[in-house]
Amino acid sequence: MHELMHNLVEKRGSKLDRMKELDLAFGMPSRDYRKIHVAGTNGKGSVSTKIASALTALGYKTGLYTSPHINTFHERVQIDGKMISVEEASFFLRKILEISKDATFFEVLTMLAFLYFQTKNVDFAVIETGLGGTLDPTNIINPELSVITSISFDHMNLLGSTLDEIAENKAGIIKPNTGVVLGYRAALDPVLKKAVLERSPIYILPPEADWIEENTNIAKKAVSLLFPSAQNLDFSILPPCRFEILERDGLPIIFDIAHNEDGLKKLFSKLEKTYPGRKIFTIFGMSQDKCIDFAIPFLKNRAAEIFPFDVENPRIMRRADLANLLDSTWDDLDNFIKLADAKNGIVLITGSAYIMQAAKEAIFKPLLLGGSALSFH
């Protein structure tokens, strides 16, 4: 299993015709269940999770395909809240790699999800895009409903340098005569024009001060369009590390994968409202291809102290490089957290999804073992 995944990790990029050929080779499993397609710069993981949970509560066997993962890629493929097993994932991976040697990591996982959902006879699958919309590997599906949560700056090197260019790319998931639910920040001209061109009914949600409430309302609208009579459904579920609050000896520790301008601004605004007057001690790690030019000055301005954090992942910026950019001399995580506690602050872990599990272990595991937290050098 590890060898299979290692061989895929470095492959990036996508060609939609390659994904269509792969789907065709397996008898088009992507067509064997009802689907909802979700795109957006921020919020798409939360909205997908909320929709899937509601469909499960309505009695439908529901697949969920999301990204990125926090701890293991198996998290990306779930049915009714339970992720695919190691054995099942290995079985499907081998089948896929026997057919295609050129598929990217994301294409293989997308096909794995399609095959798994077909094999398990799901009623619905909620499919989250990986990047953009038009050429995303998930965009071979024909959903009953499309959802675009928000549009802001991210992945500009791939999606475009203007909001209109990014919007045009994400609008690629809109299909003919298929309803599209839009968060108010997704209702940009290229999206609206695409929907009109495809004769797709448009449903635009009003703005909300709180982004969690905003995502909840988007999910509620999507489910209500499919099941108008559904009532009293619980949409409170959130994926891991989306404003996830834990405590260490009473000290609030918040995990959130915000990494772009819109996400970081909203995160800090919510923290300042939730914990008024308390300083934010930030543990930060970032992928090298993200909005580092915005994140560094923003954090230096808004965070009380910053601890640079990295993991053994080629996409993650090295700790020493981050420390130089942040003007941070912190190398002892335990002392960093103790200072936050002494100052009646809070601790935020943010940036890349790929640092979250390691950060949790660094902060909490030493307490369970009776030792001290890790130092970083």
CATH assignment of the domain containing 337: 3.90.190.20
**Maximum Cα interatomic distance, the chain, rounded to a whole number of Å:** 62
Q: Residue 291's CB: how many other CB atoms inside 10 A?
A: 21
Domain termination residue (choose one: 164, 193, 226): 226
DSSP 232: S
Residue 191: which of 218, 172, 215 has the closest Cα?
A: 172
Which DSSP letter does residue 317 get?
P
Kindly tell me if the per-residue pLDDT of 369 is higher than 70.
Answer: no
Residue spans of alpha helices (H) in 182-314: 189-197, 211-226, 261-274, 292-302
With bands split at pLDDT 50, 70 and 90, how would you rate the model's confidence at 374? very low
User: Do 362 and 308 belong to one domain?
Assistant: yes
Average pLDDT, the chain: 92
Per-residue pLDDT tens for 243-284? 999 999 999 999 999 989 989 999 999 999 999 999 999 999
* Domain-embedded: residue 122: yes
Please tell me whether residues 83 and 202 are part of one structural domain.
yes
Rounded percentage of the chain residues whose pLDDT exceeds 90: 84
Structural domain includes residue 357: yes
- Return the pLDDT at 376: 43
Examine the pLDDT at 13 and tell me if it is beyond 60: no
* Cα 280 versus chain centre, distance: 23
Residue 225's φ and ψ, nearest 5 degrees, are -70, -35
Residue 107: which of 132, 80, 129 has the closest Cα? 129
Question: Is the residue at 239 inside a domain?
Answer: no
Please say if the pLDDT value at position 6 is more than 50.
no
- Domain around 198: 2-226
Integer-rounded Cα radius of gyration of the chain: 21
Strands laid side by side in the 346-351 sheet: 244-248, 251-256, 346-351, 280-285, 305-308
Give 205-254 pLDDT, tens digit per residue. 999 989 999 999 999 999 999 999 999 999 999 999 999 999 999 999 99
Average pLDDT over residues 120-149: 96
| Same domain membership, residue 158 and residue 72 | yes
pLDDT in tens, 166-181: 999 999 999 999 999 9
Token readout for 252 is 């609030």
Model confidence pLDDT, tens digit, residues 309-367? 999 999 899 999 999 999 999 999 999 999 999 999 999 999 999 999 999 999 997 66
Same domain, 264 and 217: no
Using the 3D structure, point to which of 192, 226, 260 is the last residue of a domain.
226
Examine the domain organization and report whether 207 and 314 are in the same domain. no
pLDDT band (50, 70, 90) for residue 11: very low
In one-letter notation, the amino acid at residue 359 is: A
Structural domain includes residue 231: no
Separation CA 315–CA 93 (nearest Å):
23
Region of residue 42 (phi > 0: left; psi between -120 and 50: alpha; otherwise: beta): beta
Judge if 209 and 308 occupy the same domain.
Answer: no
Q: Are residues 297 and 192 in the same domain?
A: no
The answer to whether residue 256 sits within a structural domain is yes
- Please tell me the total count of domains within the chain: 2
Domain boundary among 191, 226, 261: 226
The domain spanning residue 69 has which CATH number?
3.40.1190.10
In sequence order, the β-bridge partners of residue 64 are 78, 126
Tell me how far apart the alpha carbons of residues 262 and 72 are, in angstroms, rounded to a whole number. 27
Residue 76 contacts residue 129 (beta carbons within 8 Å): no
Q: Are residues 135 and 8 in the same domain?
A: yes
- Strands (DSSP E) contained in 309-362 are 346-351
Give the Cα separation of 145 and 312 in Å (integer).
Answer: 39
Q: Are residue 28 and residue 131 in the same domain, yes or no?
A: yes
234 within some domain = no
